[in-house]
Amino acid sequence: MTEKFEKHFKELVKKVEQYLSASIKEENNAQGEIYKAMNYSLLAGGKRLRPVLTLATAELLGADCDEVMPFACALEMIHTHSLIHDDLPALDNDDLRRGRPTCHKAFGEAVALLAGDALLNKAFEVMAEAAAKMNDPAKGARIMQKVGNASGTEGMMGGQVADLRCEGKDITEDQLRYMYAKKTGALLKAPFLIAIEAAGKTGTDEERKLLEYSETIGLAFQIKDDVLDVVGDAKLLGKEPGRDAADGKTTFASLYGVAKCEKILEEMTVKATSIAKTFGEKGEFLREMAEYLLERNY
């Protein structure tokens, strides 16, 4: 990771953090606890990968980053909603997230469930408000529709259902790829869909290349998670590794072993960086992002 990449990554994260911090005001009222629970999870840190990718791609395509920011941060709210719900006893039953008690451990299952719902709702409130203020509100509505599709039954939530149905079963690589494309890939593709729509680049060669890049890093991201669940450090991960095996889940690591997965990841990174290079100097951030995702240890 070059100094230039790291600096710009941190700059984008800072802007995202500032927006998120101002998004949910904690109120001293009867429902005040839900605001605390929402912020407990939303402001707990993390890579902020989805909003950063949205802003970086908007920069690449020449879109207005201020106009894109609400949609970028809405993705982080949706992602956080999914983490809160994933951690619940009904799903993964995790006690730790990012090195501290999960939302339901800190606030109880009922409040955590509602906090996840509230973050999902807040994401669409934020996007609707932003869309209404755009010079072309129809463009904002199209972005909202794409985010809704990426996070709903044909995207992330559908992938979660597929994941549940696959627990304890031997599944094929094709089935695994389908599940990963929905569960993880859809919400990593959404940043590019937002930026492409905002820049008016639908139907272009730039769109084709960026979506191919997003699909490549989306699958690679989940395969890397599979590897880290086997060899990762609990302190860096912020949670205990080994859950996939304990839950009887088929992963790329269980199908092929860590060594082959690492080779697959290297090949996918080469593919993603090659696509980014076709954008010349403007694609440098995405090129280094693909390498960063390969090298990450949490």
The residues, ordered by sequence, that sit 6+ positions from 142 with a Cβ below 8 Å of its Cβ are 197
**34: confidence class by pLDDT, cuts 50, 70, 90:** very high
For residue 188, give the CATH number of its domain. 1.10.600.10
104 is in which domain, residue-wise?
3-295
pLDDT at 246: 86
Query: Could you report the per-residue pLDDT of 255-296, keeping only the tens digit for each?
Result: 999 999 999 999 999 999 999 999 999 999 999 999 999 999
Query: What confidence tens digit (pLDDT) does each residue in 171-220 have?
Result: 999 999 999 999 999 999 999 999 999 999 999 999 999 999 999 999 99
- Neighbouring CB atoms inside 10 A of 149's CB total 15
pTM: 0.96
Q: For the chain, first and last CA: distance in Å?
A: 15
Number of domains the chain is built from: 1
**Placement of tokens 């949609």 in the chain:** 71
Question: Is pLDDT of 240 > 90?
Answer: no
